[in-house]
Each structure stands twice: as structure tokens, then as C-alpha cells.
């Protein structure tokens, strides 16, 4: 699947990870829960890292856990730890592909590296790319710094441009990173440009094969096409391929969005919900898909969230607790929620006078958050 629940195209690495997980034994449910909690606790470094390590203990060597740890350390600026994790998952990728543990000994013919459908070879290449980026980071950083210094010294008028490239250029580089070198319809056969109804856009730069094309099965190419030609999205709300409909929903006329709320795919419903008034999306509080309900919970406020207090999925209730505008608005039902993850979310919001008793809570994670808040309070005195 090439879209996340918000309808945004997944990177090639994300698609490889998802497919790899599905083709292997997959994550144990408890490990998956810890990964989810790590994402929700990203702003609380110690707690997020603890969840990741608990997931690792439950699923040692699993690609999803290793990549989760790698990204956590990378985006926190802990590059030496990220590099160590990268070395571990390149070893895991080599093992699963039957390749040499020394990447310098791997040859192009050792695996189907050129095949889009070959998940494990792609996972190896993704792992190798991450390892190389981290291993080269110090040298590249020094090179950039020296380049900026030289540019500022020789061309003062270009200093700002050297230090802060334009947003469009950065976006173009970012979106081109994971492009693929083939163009196929979503049914699988090769794209025939001569039969395209948008052939005239090629002359004006509105479409480009293997880069911005609505007929391509690659969601990122669809996304670029609609970003460049948003007015054409109205004609694709009934396209047979749901990924095209989901991406088009980000651009279509608002009057065409309501029917998309009844779409069979969650990505289509989610993208439509993002652009509609709150009153239009209340029915999605009972959506069949967890991710849609989570999205809706982030869009609603106050009394609109009450029906979601009893949602069967703890993730939804957790978001409801987080959406409370004040401590007083955290519902009593969530303070005594049967799931520790919801209670832990509540403890990050309760009044200070309630923290002391929560340090003795039956759940260790709730205790940890309560003690952390008390420690911060004492440090500020």
C-alpha cells in the first residue's frame, strides 16, 4: 500500500518496511503496542526510548523495531547510537537476503536489487543507505560548514542562500529521494503516454513520466501530479484505484468531499475528513477503522468527543484524554480507564496535588510519569 492513513504517499523505505513485516512473522501485538506508545511519547525522550527497548525485548531483531530505534536516535541527534543500530539492521538485512555480512563483498547479481517487487533486497538497500548516510555524516557536515564559510567570505550576498536553501528546492530534493525508475499502471502494465488525456501538460511541465503522473501506480508520482495541477483533481473522485482518489481528495472542490466520507478505503475517508467542517465528520466517530477515528479525535473538541470516551480502542481514548483543553476537562472515566496507556496520558495532565498518590499507582509507567513531573516541579523551586 502506497499511502498512509492521511493519504500521504509513503516513502519507498516505509513501503519496504510494511511489506517486510507482512511477509515475515510480524510483530507480537504487545511489541506493536510499545511501538505505538513510543510514537505518542516522542516528546518524552526517556519514556519513548523505554517503549522502544521493551518492543525490542519482545521482538529482538525485528526490522520494524530496529528501524524505529534508528529513527528515534537519528531525529534526536544521537547519531552514534543511530549508527550502531544501523549496523545491526544491515546485518539483519544481509542475513535475510543470504548476503555477505560485509557489504563491500555484495555484488549486483547476488539479489534481485533491480526488482520493485523484491521486498527483501529493497530492505537491504534501504539499510545500506541509512548506514552510509550516518557513517558519512561527520565528513559531510564539515564539508558543508567549510563551503558555507567560503561562500560567505567570497560572496557575502549569497550567504543566506548557502545557509538556507529555498523551501521549493528542498522539497524537490526530498520528494525525489525515493523515486523509482519505472512507470506502470495500477493494474501492473507499463504506462503508455501516447494514450494519456493530459499529454499537453508535458509541454508546460505539468506532468513528467516517472516523476509526476496520475496514471502511474506509484503514489508519490500521483501526489506530485495533483500538486502541480490541483484543478484536475475534481475529475478523479471516482477513479477505480483508491490511492488516486485519496490523493485527489486533498485538492478537490469542497462540495465534492462529502460523498468521499462513504468511501470503502480509510485513506479516502481520512483525507476528506481533514478538509471538512467538524459538523460534517461527526459520523466518523464510529468509523470501522482505528486510524480514521484517531484522526477525527484530533479534529474535534469538547462535547464533540464525549461519544468517543467509550471507544473500544485504547488509542482513541488516549487521544481524547490528550485533547482535553484543561485539567478539569479530563473526564473522570479516563482517570480510571482500564488501560494503563490511557491512565498514563491522564497523569501528564492532572493537577499537581494529585501527583503524590499517583507515584504509588499499580502501573510502573504511571508512577514514572508522576515522579518525573514532581521532580521537574521541585527543580523549578
Q: What is the pLDDT of residues 335-352, one digit of tens each?
A: 788 888 888 888 887 777
Q: Identify the pLDDT of residue 3.
A: 47
Banded model confidence at residue 60, pLDDT cuts 50, 70, 90: confident
Distance CA 183, CA 174 (A): 20
Write out the three cell numbers for 207: 506532468
Residue 126 or residue 14, greater confidence: 126
Does position 162 have pLDDT exceeding 50, yes or no?
no
Does position 220 have pLDDT exceeding 60, yes or no?
yes
List the chain domain ranges.
1-155, 212-276, 290-381
Give the residue-averaged pLDDT of 348-361. Answer: 79
Does position 278 have pLDDT exceeding 80, yes or no?
yes
Strand partners, 9: 3
Banded model confidence at residue 296, pLDDT cuts 50, 70, 90: very high
Instruction: Return the HEC string of 105-132.
Output: HCCHHHCCCCCCCCHHHHHHHHHHHHHH
Give the residue-averaged pLDDT of 125-149. Answer: 64
Distance CA 51, CA 318 (A): 16
Does position 281 have pLDDT exceeding 50, yes or no?
yes
For 337, the 3-state DSSP assignment is: coil
Q: What is the DSSP string of 43-77?
A: TSHHHHHHHHHHHHHHSTT-HHHHHHHHHHHHHTT
- Whether the domain at 1-155 and the domain at 290-381 fall into the same CATH topology: no
Does position 158 have pLDDT exceeding 80, yes or no?
no
Q: What's the fold here for domain 1-155?
A: 1.25.40
- Flag whether the pTM goes above 0.85: no
Give the residue-averaged pLDDT of 28-44. Answer: 80
Distance CA 117, CA 112 (A): 9
Banded model confidence at residue 163, pLDDT cuts 50, 70, 90: very low
In the chain, what percentage of residues exceed pLDDT 70?
76
Write out the three cell numbers for 225: 501530479
| Beta carbons within 10 angstroms of residue 38's beta carbon | 23
- Burial label for 220, CB within 10 Å (0-12, 13-18, 19+), is buried
Does position 159 have pLDDT exceeding 70, yes or no?
no
Backbone angles phi, psi at 9, to 5 degrees: -65, 135
Does position 179 have pLDDT exceeding 90, yes or no?
no
Mean pLDDT check: name the lowest of 53-62, 112-121, 255-264. 112-121
Distance CA 169, CA 40 (A): 31
Residue 215 or residue 139, greater confidence: 215
Distance CA 80, CA 93 (A): 20
Q: Identify the pLDDT of residue 178.
A: 47
User: What is the average pLDDT value for the chain, to the nearest integer?
Assistant: 76
For 3, the 3-state DSSP assignment is: strand
CATH classification code of 290-381: 1.25.10.10
Q: What is the pLDDT of residues 260-275, one digit of tens each?
A: 999 888 989 999 999 9
In the chain, what percentage of residues exceed pLDDT 90?
17
Does position 101 have pLDDT exceeding 50, yes or no?
yes
Q: What is the pLDDT of residues 222-247, one digit of tens each?
A: 888 899 899 999 999 999 988 899 99
Give the residue-averaged pLDDT of 66-83. Answer: 85
Amino acid at each position: 500500500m502506497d499511502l498512509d492513513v492521511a493519504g500521504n504517499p509513503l516513502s519507498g523505505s516505509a513501503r519496504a518496511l510494511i511489506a517486510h513485516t507482512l511477509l515475515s512473522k510480524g510483530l507480537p501485538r504487545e511489541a506493536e503496542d510499545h511501538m505505538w506508545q513510543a510514537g505518542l511519547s516522542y516528546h518524552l525522550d526517556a519514556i519513548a526510548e523505554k517503549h522502544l527497548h521493551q518492543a525490542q525485548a519482545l521482538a529482538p531483531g525485528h526490522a520494524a523495531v530496529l528501524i524505529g530505534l534508528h529513527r528515534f536516535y537519528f531525529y534526536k541527534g544521537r547519531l552514534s547510537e543511530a549508527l550502531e543500530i544501523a549496523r545491526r539492521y544491515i546485518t539483519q538485512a544481509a542475513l535475510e537476503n543470504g548476503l555477505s555480512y560485509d557489504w563491500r563483498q555484495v555484488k549486483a547479481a547476488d539479489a534481485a536489487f533491480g526488482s520493485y517487487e523484491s521486498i527483501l533486497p529493497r530492505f537491504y538497500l534501504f539499510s545500506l543507505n541509512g548506514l552510509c548516510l550516518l557513517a558519512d555524516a561527520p565528513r559531510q557536515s564539515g564539508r558543508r560548514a567549510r563551503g558555507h564559510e567560503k561562500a560567505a567570505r567570497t560572496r557575502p550576498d549569497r550567504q543566506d542562500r548557502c545557509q538556507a536553501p529555498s523551501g521549493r528546492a528542498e522539497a524537490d530534493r526530498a520528494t525525489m529521494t525515493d523515486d523509482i525508475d519505472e512507470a506502470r499502471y495500477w493494474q501492473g502494465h507499463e504506462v503508455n503516454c501516447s494514450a494519456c488525456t493530459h499529454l499537453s501538460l508535458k509541454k508546460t511541465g505539468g506532468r513528467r513520466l516517472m516523476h509526476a503522473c496520475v496514471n502511474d501506480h506509484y503514489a508519490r508520482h500521483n501526489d506530485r501530479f495533483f500538486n502541480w495541477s490541483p484543478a484536475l483533481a475534481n475529475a478523479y473522485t471516482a477513479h477505480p484505484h483508491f490511492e488516486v482518489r485519496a490523493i485527489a481528495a486533498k485538492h478537490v472542490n469542497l462540495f465534492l468531499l462529502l460523498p468521499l466520507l462513504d468511501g470503502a478505503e480509510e485513506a479516502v475517508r481520512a483525507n476528506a475528513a481533514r478538509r471538512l467542517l467538524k459538523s460534517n465528520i461527526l459520523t466518523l466517530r464510529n468509523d470501522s477503522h482505528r486510524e480514521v477515528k484517531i484522526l477525527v479525535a484530533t479534529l474535534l473538541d469538547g462535547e464533540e468527543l464525549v461519544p468517543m470516551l467509550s471507544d473500544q480502542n485504547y488509542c482513541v481514548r488516549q487521544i481524547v484524554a490528550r485533547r482535553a483543553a484543561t485539567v478539569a476537562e479530563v473526564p473522570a472515566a479516563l482517570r480510571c480507564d482500564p488501560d494503563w496507556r490511557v491512565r498514563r496520558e491522564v497523569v501528564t495532565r492532572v493537577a499537581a496535588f494529585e501527583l503524590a498518590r499517583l507515584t504509588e499507582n499499580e502501573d510502573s509507567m504511571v508512577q514514572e510519569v508522576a515522579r518525573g513531573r514532581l521532580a521537574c516541579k521541585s527543580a523549578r523551586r
